[in-house]
């Protein structure tokens, strides 16, 4: 599922159809509505897990998806889950973004409490999910692969002023008053005398800051006697502190604060028990960084293959010998291409050209011209080549390039030296104080983060969670041989595609770290760990189950190294019952086809996120309040069909289980199928006909 939102428990109302045996909830009797009779048959049903024939399906686990906080609180959801399911899945709590904050700190407290609550109830947990593109802390992950500052001598770093506040133009204290208000006297912020108690005041506020950056706070300050004060920097709930010492003479006093964590910050001075007069003329915030340097990046290069002159002739056609254009002077004015414009596209900017050339003797008058056309509007830039005997690499600067395809023409003119041109390299020149990480460096950093995250989760669950969606929703939504998702075709600033950086075999890394860090848990048996690749639309009719076929093929590819072991396949199955008979027939055929494809994979098979909506004959979604009893019954029959086909087609040895993803219908404001009748219970936790269909499917009736 792409996103799961916590479904809040609605208040109980109406006749409770859940029955005492279901959740041990209190039975509330009110006047029976006229339409209630057609629902009364649901009272006869037992809790869902009681319908599983354990002798026939000994390893089958019935799952339910819940909000971890609801389960931890041990209210209605806790009791309902314990009564109806063998295994539970936390909708959000075990995902990366729920644990990792913007600074990379990991908070597993909810996960640990969830595991403890499940242990206490004897309830199994299915982990969801170790690696996904959605619900990642994109800010933190992007910071890991951000451009790095150039390495320079610390003494060569320059100080950049971020903000400065002087009080010369203020008539009164300009900030929020926190109990004590300093005076402005002659443009100087002044504490004329000790207030007689602990006090503090703002000296800067709402300053843009960069998380992770170190800052210097400098104040021009003096006291009536030497002393110190506490400098508080950051924002509410995330401040950092340093002591600033000052004297009784005007001086610029500074403190360094490392690794701010906030994007908007304030500076508060806390003189504490300092009992003298205090004066501040100004205060500024700054940081140091490497000075801008010229950084060259290769963009194009030309080499040569032995044979006749390879380019358009301009009256001179020197052959290529031993990988060099071999020019022998004729005494006449001469020139020739060394790089055709079609192979040398350049964007606007500054460039340097490295010309690798051997000369038989020193020569003057040799030029190199770059031009992006031949008309009057074309840019034509020429540099002189200071030819020296022997093999040399000449560095030639070309500034102010306007952009286009640039022919490069060497002009020996009347020079008498024999010239052998070996190669031409064009580099873009940029002034910067940071360098992008290479693809290899990004992969190394993210691979380490992936391992850190999985280790943290395995440590937090302590070996109790033995089944996981190890990778979630890896494949595109297309046809044929379906590729992996990527950040180009699925541009979304809130998603992070690990595979873009770690490559198409990134799944191998996730599986490796899951097994390594699980095995490290005290008492863990590595053979107990079951890892599933989970995806949606495997049952889709629109592409004849191409996604399901492709996922099976990808798993075979990932396992081809002989090391990676993927135990199972998870099919989400967020299905829709269609009132269009032809559409519904295709849907059912595609479900059967999917199950047969999954059977042939030989993997454990789990329906991981089964929920159901309904659409009309024109394939328009029908909202909960508009669904009739008869339509609920049709949905119930479809649940029964899916579950019975699972048991019928999937061999016993491959039957891992089925998870009911939506316990209740989706609230109208929910981000997941909002306002749709996707639950087995309604929002008042009353059973629906779909509950009966689900139970009948489990029982095989």
Does the structure show a pLDDT above 70 at 15?
A: no
Does the structure show a pLDDT above 90 at 36?
A: no
Mean pLDDT of 12-29: 37
Residue 26: per-residue pLDDT? 39
CATH class of 20-141+439-699: alpha beta
Mean pLDDT of 249-259: 95
SS3 state of residue 372: coil
Higher pLDDT, 255 or 150: 255
Given the candidates 2.60.120.260, 3.50.50.60, 3.40.190.170, 3.40.50.2300, the CATH classification of the domain at 149-289 is 2.60.120.260
pTM score above 0.75 = no
Question: Which segment of 194-203, 235-244, 419-428, 439-448 scores lowest on mean pLDDT?
Answer: 194-203
Q: Which residue has the tokens 């029959």?
A: 637
CA dist 373 → 231, 337, 381 (Å):
62, 13, 11
Mean pLDDT estimate for the chain: 93
Does the structure show a pLDDT above 80 at 605?
A: yes
Task: Give residue 12's pLDDT band: very low, low, confident or very high (50, 70, 90).
Answer: very low
Tell me which residue of 446, 578, 550 sits closest to 503, measured CA to CA: 446
Handedness of CA 72, 77, 78, 81 (dihedral sign): negative
Contacts by 618-625, CB closer than 8 A, 24 or more apart: 618/580, 619/578, 619/580, 619/583, 621/576, 621/676, 622/579, 622/677, 623/668, 623/675, 623/676, 623/677, 624/665, 624/666, 624/675, 624/676, 624/677, 624/682, 625/675
Task: Give residue 4's pLDDT band: very low, low, confident or very high (50, 70, 90).
Answer: very low
Mean pLDDT of 147-154: 73
The domain limits of the chain are: 20-141+439-699, 149-289, 294-432
CA dist 464 → 69, 223, 568, 678 (Å):
18, 61, 19, 30
Residue 152: per-residue pLDDT? 64
Q: Give domain 294-432's CATH architecture.
A: Sandwich (2.60)
Phi, psi of 118 (to 5 degrees): -65, -40
Does the structure show a pLDDT above 90 at 2?
A: no
Question: From CA 40, how far away is CA 32, in angstroms rounded?
Answer: 11
Question: Which segment of 156-170, 201-215, 355-369, 628-642 scores lowest on mean pLDDT?
Answer: 156-170
- How far is it between the farthest Cα atoms of the chain? 113
Residue 33: per-residue pLDDT? 55
Residue 31: per-residue pLDDT? 47
Give residue-wise pLDDT tens across range 51-76. 999 999 999 999 999 999 999 999 99
Does the structure show a pLDDT above 50 at 319?
A: yes
Phi, psi of 296 (to 5 degrees): -100, 135
Count CB atoms within 10 A of the CB of residue 99: 20
CB 387 within 8 A of CB 419: yes
Q: Burial level of 421, CB count in 10 A (0-12/13-18/19+)? A: buried
Phi, psi of 35 (to 5 degrees): -80, -5
**Left if phi > 0, otherwise alpha if psi is -120 to 50, otherwise beta: which for 179?**
left
Q: Tell me the sheet residues that pair with 321.
A: 324
Question: From CA 240, how far away is CA 594, in angstroms rounded?
Answer: 56
Mean pLDDT of 184-199: 91
Give residue-wise pLDDT tens across range 258-294. 989 999 999 999 998 899 999 999 999 999 887 777 8
Tell me which residue of 397, 347, 338, 335 sits closest to 372, measured CA to CA: 347
Domains 20-141+439-699 and 149-289 share a fold: no
Higher pLDDT, 296 or 454: 454
Task: Give residue 589's pLDDT band: very low, low, confident or very high (50, 70, 90).
Answer: very high
Give residue-wise pLDDT tens across range 338-385. 999 999 999 999 999 999 999 999 999 999 999 999 888 899 999 999
Residue 366: per-residue pLDDT? 96
Mean pLDDT of 152-157: 70
Q: How far apart are the first and last CA of the chain?
A: 29
DSSP 142-199: HHHTSPEEPP--GGG-EEEEEEEEE-TT-SS--S--SS---EEETTEEEE-S--SS--
CA dist 264 → 144, 160, 232, 238, 498 (Å):
21, 17, 14, 11, 30
Give residue-wise pLDDT tens across range 546-555. 999 999 999 9
């Amino acid at each position: 599922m792409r996103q799961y939102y916590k479904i809040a428990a609605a208040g109980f109302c109406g006749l409770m159809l859940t029955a005492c045996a279901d959740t041990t909830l209190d039975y509330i009797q009110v006047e029976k509505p006229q339409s209630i009779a057609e629902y009364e048959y649901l009272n006869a049903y037992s809790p869902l897990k009681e319908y599983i024939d354990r002798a026939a399906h000994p390893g089958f686990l019935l799952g339910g998806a819940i909000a971890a906080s609801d389960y931890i609180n041990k209210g209605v959801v806790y009791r309902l889950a314990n009564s109806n399911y063998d295994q539970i899945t936390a909708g959000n709590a075990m995902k990366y973004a729920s644990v990792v904050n913007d600074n990379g700190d990991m908070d597993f407290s909810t996960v640990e409490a969830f595991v403890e609550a499940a242990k206490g109830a004897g309830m199994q947990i299915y982990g969801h999910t170790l690696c996904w593109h959605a619900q990642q802390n994109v800010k933190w992950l992007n910071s890991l692969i951000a451009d790095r500052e150039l390495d320079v001598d610390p003494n060569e770093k320059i100080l950049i002023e971020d903000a400065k506040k002087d009080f010369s133009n203020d008539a009164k204290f300009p900030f929020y008053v926190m109990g004590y208000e300093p005076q402005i006297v002659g443009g100087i912020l002044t504490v004329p005398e000790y207030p007689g108690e602990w006090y503090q005041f703002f000296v800067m506020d709402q300053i843009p800051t960069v998380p992770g950056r170190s800052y210097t706070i400098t104040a021009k300050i003096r006291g009536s006697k030497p002393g110190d004060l506490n400098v508080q920097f950051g924002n509410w709930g995330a401040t950092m502190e340093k002591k600033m010492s000052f004297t009784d003479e005007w001086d610029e006093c500074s403190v360094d604060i490392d690794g701010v964590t906030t994007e908007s910050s304030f500076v508060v001075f806390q003189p504490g028990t300092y009992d003298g007069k205090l004066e501040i003329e100004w205060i500024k915030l700054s940081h140091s960084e490497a000075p801008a340097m010229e950084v060259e990046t290769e963009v194009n290069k030309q080499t040569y293959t032995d044979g006749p002159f390879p380019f358009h002739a301009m009256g001179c056609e020197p052959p290529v010998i031993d990988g060099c254009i071999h020019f022998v002077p004729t005494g006449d004015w001469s020139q020739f291409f060394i790089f055709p414009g079609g192979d040398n596209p350049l964007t606007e900017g500054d460039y340097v050209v490295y010309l690798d050339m051997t000369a038989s003797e020193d020569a003057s008058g040799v030029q190199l011209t770059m031009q992006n056309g031949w008309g009057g509007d074309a840019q034509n830039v020429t540099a002189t080549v200071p030819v020296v005997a022997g093999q040399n690499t000449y560095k030639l600067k070309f500034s102010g390039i306007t952009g286009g395809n640039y022919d490069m023409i060497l002009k020996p003119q009347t020079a008498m030296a024999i010239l052998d041109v070996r190669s031409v390299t064009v580099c873009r020149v940029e002034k910067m104080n940071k360098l992008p990480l290479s693809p290899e460096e990004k992969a190394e950093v993210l691979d380490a983060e992936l391992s850190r995250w999985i280790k943290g989760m395995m440590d937090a669950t302590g070996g109790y969670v033995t089944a996981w969606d190890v990778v979630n929703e890896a494949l595109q939504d297309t046809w044929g041989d379906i590729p992996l998702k990527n950040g180009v075709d699925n541009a979304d600033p809130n998603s992070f595609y690990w595979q873009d950086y770690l490559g198409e075999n990134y799944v191998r890394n996730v599986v490796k770290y899951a097994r390594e860090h699980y095995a490290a848990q005290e008492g863990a048996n590595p053979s107990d760990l079951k890892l599933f690749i989970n995806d949606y639309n495997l049952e889709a009719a629109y592409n004849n189950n191409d996604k399901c076929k492709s996922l099976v093929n990808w798993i075979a590819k990932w396992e081809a190294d002989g090391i990676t072991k993927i135990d199972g396949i998870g099919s989400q199955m967020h299905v829709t019952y269609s009132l269009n008979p032809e559409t519904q027939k295709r849907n059912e055929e595609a479900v059967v086809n999917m199950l047969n494809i999954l059977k042939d994979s030989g993997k454990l098979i789990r329906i991981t996120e089964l929920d159901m909506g309904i659409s009309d004959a024109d394939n328009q979604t029908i909202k909960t309040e508009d669904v009739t009893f008869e339509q609920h019954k049709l949905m119930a029959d479809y649940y029964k069909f899916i579950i019975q086909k699972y048991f019928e087609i999937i061999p016993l040895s491959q039957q891992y289980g089925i998870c009911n993803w939506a316990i209740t219908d989706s609230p109208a404001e929910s981000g997941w199928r909002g306002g749709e009748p996707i639950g087995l219970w309604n929002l008042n936790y009353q059973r629906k006909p779909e509950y009966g269909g689900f139970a009948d499917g489990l029982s095989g009736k």
